[in-house]
Amino acid sequence: MTELRNVERELHRFRSRVLAAAAFVLLGFSLVGARLFYLQVVQHEKLSARAEANRIAVLPSVPNRGLILDRNGVVLATNYSAYTLELTPSKLEKSLEHTIDELSQLVEITPRDRRRFKRLLEEGKSFESMPLRNRLTDAEVARFTAQRFRFPGVEVKARLFRQYPLGEIGSHLIGYMGRINQAEKKAMEDWDEDLQANYRGTDYIGKLGIEQSYETVLHGTTGFEEVETSAGGRAVRRLRTHPPTPGNTVVLSVDIKLQAMVEELFGERRGALVAMDPRNGEVLAFVSKPTFDPNLFVDGIDVDNWRELNESIDKPLLNRALRGTYPPGSTFKPFMAMAALTTGKRNASQVIYDNGSFQFGNHTFRSHGDHGLGPVDMHRSIVMSSNVYYYSLANEMGVDLMHDQLEPFGFGRRTGIDIQGEATGILPSTEWKRRTYKRPEQKKWFAGETISLGIGQGYNNFTMLQVANAMSTLLSGGQRPAPHLVREVQDVVSHQKRPVEHQALPPLALKPEHVEIIKRAMYGVTQEGTSTRVFAGAPYKSGGKTGTAQAVTVRQNERYNAARLAEHQRDHSLYLAFAPLEAPTIALAVIVENAGFGAAAAAPIARRVFDYWLLGNYPSEDDIAATRRGQSVAPIGAPRRAEDIPLPGAEAQAGAVPASAPQSVAQGTATEVRR
């Protein structure tokens, strides 16, 4: 039996399916159209920028670092460019060791280069480009370039390197450049966005001294290049260039020839000297001995040199002028005398009998070899350096009054000099002791502890910068300009010189007649006192004060005997001085560690500094040799004219650059120009 088809029903079903399919297709096209509209219209600008970014690479251009000059235009830090062989570990197709071994067949790679690269690899990241070998010669560059296809992830780059033409001279005040480490990279994350952007492409920054403290002034402004790239990332053509702006030139107040002379006078001895202009706070010499060669750090210092510097008993990396703290010894006495005059505890004519010792309770505080000076007034107490006078004065004043009177001179606090890392020092008080010690019995101040403070011993510990700054404050009648190393900044574009402003502290209310008493007493030190022989024949008048400070404590029932002590345990030699007497233009503080009496080692250096600064004299070779041995008093031999003495490294000052450097080399000239 044949079933009849229901045509009408099937047509209805067919139409329904067609409509459903059409609706589905229409919905699909609508979604595609909506997405197309979203991408082409709504997201047009964003996607266009992304496409352009894929096509264009923006490469940072690191600027030339600014020069550092001394006050007379001598170049202390400059730049040169050289070729480097660099590896990006993540892009290497072979093992790192195998790649380096193959490269060593084309380019000389020393064990030092390998050690330095290994250290950089530990500090950095595998996707960063790291230098394996610096200062490639043109021949080495040519050999590698011909074989470059064999070494993916290896390339030759031209990089800027810092150069210090004078080597070790002034290294602590100039500082050095070094590769940015991980801690510094993390600290940079807190910088504002503009400053972070300016350091893109920068691998090296200042680490110490002026290089560190004036980093942003010296760095310059980073430029960029827009380069069109292929899909594979290969540069096709340069689209746009914005050249970098070199860093500005920093001009110091330091006279580097004076600095070099003082460092030569120290010889192999340890110590520090700070010389200042009391009229404006300019630092004229900032010496720390021993020194180091900052050029060792430019490429990344190797393990052997680092160990030698870091583990040396002489601590050549310690900036003794900035961070070395010492008991001031008798150089503290002029400030104690000023405090006595200010507070009325003593007047200049009051006489104290010095019998050679001071008894406090059951303890005897000694004087010079237990020899008394007899009746002593304030003038004679400074000229002859009476200990008993200042033992009794300290006992009368008490520790807190001493602290309150001497702290405004800058003792026990940072001076605010314009480089980082300054030590605070210690000017004790009862409050200081409560804060410093933990156990209750240690927190108490005992009256006997006050006595030795009067002669600059006990807890007293200051830097030579603080002592020189205090002397400048006294000489200027209480004016307190901030001590500073940078005199001005020269704009690299406009060439305009901008004096650097340094914030002064409010002046102290010192009475001129009190200042004159101290100055005259210190003048007496050079005429009839402890440094008479050193300043014999000087054609100018100066003031000074010798000091001898204990490096180790001598027991009450023992006598000091340098011959029985190891060299590092002997007394320190100090001298505090200024010149000329009537209108001082220079004040200094100097310490020669473990060198004994102040007049024997420190004072002769001060005399030669004054001869240089006031007379333009440079000591004879025989005089330098005698002073280095600690066997000089007044200068011997015929002095030379300072302007005739060349600086060490004169060939570098003449513009010499390592032979491997490409043509884009140092900025500026390297000749000395007096002004």
- The token pair at 410 is 């800058």
Cα distances (Å, whole numbers) of residue 225 to 109, 168, 674:
32, 38, 41
The reported pLDDT for the residue numbered 671 is: 32
Domains of the chain, first to last: 58-252 (3.90.1310.10), 256-289+322-558+565-651 (3.40.710.10)
The reported pLDDT for the residue numbered 319 is: 96
What residue type is assigned to position 517 of the chain? Answer: I
The reported pLDDT for the residue numbered 554 is: 45
Query: Which H or E run includes 641?
Result: strand 640-641
Highest mean pLDDT among 10-19, 177-186, 247-256: 247-256
- The token pair at 368 is 């010079």
**Distance of alpha carbon 385 from alpha carbon 383, whole angstroms:** 6
Query: Which H or E run includes 321?
Result: helix 320-323
pLDDT-based confidence at residue 536 (cuts at 50, 70, 90): very high
Coil, strand, or helix at residue 613?
A: helix
pLDDT-based confidence at residue 190 (cuts at 50, 70, 90): confident
Residue pair 166/256 in contact by the 8 Å Cβ criterion? yes
Coil, strand, or helix at residue 68?
A: strand
Average pLDDT over residues 630-634: 93
Of 273-282, 321-330, 557-566, 646-655, the least confident: 557-566
What's the chain's Rg over C-alpha atoms?
A: 35
Number of neighbouring beta carbons within 10 Å of residue 283? 26
What residue type is assigned to position 341 of the chain? Answer: L
Active site residues: 330
- The token pair at 131 is 């230098």
**Distance of alpha carbon 387 from alpha carbon 365, whole angstroms:** 9
Residue pair 249/668 in contact by the 8 Å Cβ criterion? yes
Cα distances (Å, whole numbers) of residue 281 to 105, 173, 211, 473, 512:
57, 16, 21, 9, 20
The reported pLDDT for the residue numbered 235 is: 56
112 vs 486, residue with greater confidence: 486
Task: Indicate if the pLDDT at residue 667 is higher than 60.
Answer: no
Q: What is the DSSP string of 355-413?
A: -SEEEETTEEEE-GGG---EEE-HHHHHHTT-HHHHHHHHHHH-HHHHHHHHGGGTTTS
53 vs 247, residue with greater confidence: 247
Helices (H) and strands (E) in the chain, counts: 25, 23
Residue pair 54/657 in contact by the 8 Å Cβ criterion? no
Confidence (pTM): 0.82
Residue pair 574/547 in contact by the 8 Å Cβ criterion? yes
- The token pair at 391 is 């033992």
Sorted by sequence, the CB contacts under 8 Å of residue 16 that are 6+ apart come out as none
What residue type is assigned to position 421 of the chain? Answer: G
Average pLDDT over residues 177-202: 85
Task: Indicate if the pLDDT at residue 300 is higher than 80.
Answer: no
Give the single-character DSSP code of 46: H
Task: Indicate if the pLDDT at residue 429 is higher than 70.
Answer: yes
584 phi and psi angles, rounded to 5 deg? -60, 135
The reported pLDDT for the residue numbered 649 is: 64
pLDDT-based confidence at residue 57 (cuts at 50, 70, 90): low
Average pLDDT over residues 57-72: 86
Number of neighbouring beta carbons within 10 Å of residue 671? 11
Of 17-31, 92-106, 228-242, 627-641, the least confident: 228-242
**209-244 burial code (b ≥16 CB/10 A, e <16):** bbbbbbbebbbbebbbbebeeeeeeeeeeeeeeeeb
Give the single-character DSSP code of 487: E
Average pLDDT over residues 541-562: 68
Cis before 290? omega within 30: yes
Task: Indicate if the pLDDT at residue 657 is higher than 70.
Answer: no
Mean pLDDT, the chain, rounded, equals: 86
Coil, strand, or helix at residue 436?
A: helix
Average pLDDT over residues 485-490: 96
Residue pair 478/518 in contact by the 8 Å Cβ criterion? no
Q: Report pLDDT digits (tens) over 383-405.
A: 999 999 999 999 999 999 999 99
**Distance of alpha carbon 666 from alpha carbon 646, whole angstroms:** 21
Task: Indicate if the pLDDT at residue 613 is higher than 50.
Answer: yes
**Distance of alpha carbon 330 from alpha carbon 452, whole angstroms:** 11
Strands 249-252 and 68-69: parallel
**Distance of alpha carbon 129 from alpha carbon 85, whole angstroms:** 10
pLDDT-based confidence at residue 371 (cuts at 50, 70, 90): confident
Percent of the chain exceeding pLDDT 90 equals: 54
pLDDT-based confidence at residue 197 (cuts at 50, 70, 90): confident
pLDDT-based confidence at residue 230 (cuts at 50, 70, 90): low
**Distance of alpha carbon 83 from alpha carbon 106, whole angstroms:** 15
The reported pLDDT for the residue numbered 56 is: 64
The reported pLDDT for the residue numbered 236 is: 58
Our CA angle for 219, 294, 303, nearest 5°, is 115
Task: Indicate if the pLDDT at residue 52 is higher than 70.
Answer: no
Give the single-character DSSP code of 569: G
Q: Residue 204 pairs with which residues in a beta bridge?
A: 179
Task: Indicate if the pLDDT at residue 562 is higher than 60.
Answer: no
Coil, strand, or helix at residue 516?
A: helix
pLDDT-based confidence at residue 668 (cuts at 50, 70, 90): very low
The reported pLDDT for the residue numbered 370 is: 60
- The token pair at 573 is 């030699």
Of 30-39, 327-336, 627-636, the least confident: 30-39
Number of neighbouring beta carbons within 10 Å of residue 348? 18
Average pLDDT over residues 432-440: 92
**Distance of alpha carbon 392 from alpha carbon 370, whole angstroms:** 16
pLDDT-based confidence at residue 599 (cuts at 50, 70, 90): confident
**Distance of alpha carbon 287 from alpha carbon 313, whole angstroms:** 19
* CA dihedral (69, 75, 76, 82) positive or negative: positive
Task: Indicate if the pLDDT at residue 172 is higher than 90.
Answer: yes
**Half-sphere CA count of 380, side-chain side, radius 13 A:** 14
